[in-house]
Structure 1
């Protein structure tokens, strides 16, 4: 009985350590910005209101447009499909917004099938292959970057991280729920790693 209790306590302690380590990893990585020039910025999709990008999505697009203007990427690859009941795909709304903000149409590419982060990156990789893009700058909100880069690397993509510097998640009231959501999904993604291949 004592052995069983010790094993239970040890298991709980290890789980707690792993949870804290994962949380710290997500938080610290959110502060990382890499600046090497790449072929394309992959902008991870977010909600669309009507045909307009949501404030969260706009911040991601604005950041990608800035990368393009500063010649840090040659192209922008927007991701995101149509939510149920919507006529405009996330990527389509992003592309239109980018054009309105000065990006040349020939520098814009899209995938419009994805619904979740894994699909964003999987379909973006397929789209990129058709245009001979080999290196990528990932753009999303800071707390999303750890999971996004892990997925991209597992897909064999050559990526760097460039979180939206002016994320819509600025207050603790908005940051904490997003952080907990990312912690949950990133932890699940890592724990399921042995079963993905």
Structure 2
């Protein structure tokens, strides 16, 4: 009897491990596949997720997102670009403000810009954007972020009540080498599974929170 129970427990444990491995693998594949998509439907706004900024100057990751948003705006995807992101301790500018100023200096009209200076991670940012959308009667957004971050950003936007699709940037540090891409995919896989399991975001590295 003891041997049979032991064998049964081993099988259950093996099945659980296999299910976990398949879940991680399928999630990583979904992140990779979604990163290769580029949706540009006519929308109420283009939402650029913030990243690090240095005294009002966007980091290279953030700049790549902003440049892509300019392309989408010029292509007529949406009449407004929304920048979002709060302020880290000691910063003089929020990510949203730094992004708005970069876009304005690049020739985007002030009337086509909206800064939402809230959020220390993707989930908080999407909830803040959702509130801004609600105030204006907007519903649909094209989200601009890094390719590997796109799936989780879309999910969080939809959970916040926004009809979201993503058009990830193809430039910047997140896509420079295959090693970098693999590292981002692994980190995003963990972050996405954590969010689906707990409903919470994970703050940390640029594009991951």
TM range, smaller chain: over 0.9
Counterpart position of 1:179:
185
1:191 aligns with 2:192: no
Counterpart position of 2:43:
38
Q: Larger deviation: 159-168 or 183-192?
A: 159-168
Q: Deviations over 1:70-100 (max 9, x none)?
A: 1111101100000111011000000000011
SS in 2 for 1:84: coil
What displacement does 1:151 show? 1.0
What displacement does 1:152 show? 1.2
1:28 aligns with 2:68: no
After the TM superposition, which parts of structure 1 deviate over 3 Å for at least 4 consecutive aligned residues?
none
**C-alpha RMSD of the superposition:** 1.2
Partner Cα distance (1:168, 1:34) in 2:
22
Q: Return the TM-score normalized by structure 2.
A: 0.89
Q: Deviations over 1:44-72 (max 9, x none)?
A: 11001221000000000001111111111
What displacement does 1:160 show? 1.4
Counterpart position of 2:54:
49
What displacement does 1:30 show? 0.4
Q: Deviations over 1:86-128 (max 9, x none)?
A: 0110000000000111100111001112100001110011112
Counterpart position of 2:206:
none
Choose from 76, 79, 102 the match for 2:81.
76
Contact 1:110 1:127 in 2 (8 A): no
Q: Larger deviation: 58-67 or 127-136?
A: 127-136
Map 1:2-17 onto structure 2 (within 5 A): 2-17=7-22
Counterpart position of 1:116:
121
Partner Cα distance (1:62, 1:187) in 2:
30
Q: Return the TM-score normalized by structure 1.
A: 0.94
Question: How many aligned residue pairs are there?
Answer: 193
Q: Runs of 5+ in structure 1 lacking a partner? A: none
Contact 2:60 2:172 in 1 (8 A): no
Q: Deviations over 1:31-54 (max 9, x none)?
A: 011121101001111001221000
Contact 1:46 1:56 in 2 (8 A): yes
